[in-house]
Amino acid sequence: MKPAIAATVILLAATAAARPVKEPKPVHGEGCVQAGVEARCLIVRDMRTGTLYDLLFKDARPPVGLGIEFTGVPHEGPTSCMQGAALDVTSWARKETLKCAPGQANRR
């Protein structure tokens, strides 16, 4: 490799390595858990913003029809659910003040 090209490659690599990695901004919401159109997919429409989320859980999953409050980060890459903004859920809790039933919209 020519010296000028090698220096350019090294400079580009150093510039890329020096860029700070942006941590994904956490998303917080609440709503009623519903079944997605694809098997094993859970979706929630946030009560405050109206945004539809495809919630991806690593551990215990809430049952369909439960009102929850959740926090997550945007999911990297595609999912099989194809509904809403995909979030990797970092925490969730039952929300007693939400009255939900399977297949019904959010209610307070």
φ, ψ of residue 6 in degrees (nearest 5): -60, -40
24-108 to CATH, choices 1.10.3470, 2.40.50, 3.40.50, 3.10.50: 2.40.50
CA–CA distance from 79 to each of 9, 66, 87, 98 (Å)? 35, 23, 10, 28
23-27, 29-33, 90-94, 98-102: the lowest-pLDDT one: 98-102
pLDDT tens digits for range 47-104: 999 999 999 999 899 999 999 999 999 999 999 998 999 999 999 999 999 988 766 5
Q: Where are the domains of the chain?
A: 24-108
* pLDDT at residue 69 in the model: 97
3-state secondary structure of 13: helix
pTM of the full predicted structure? 0.74
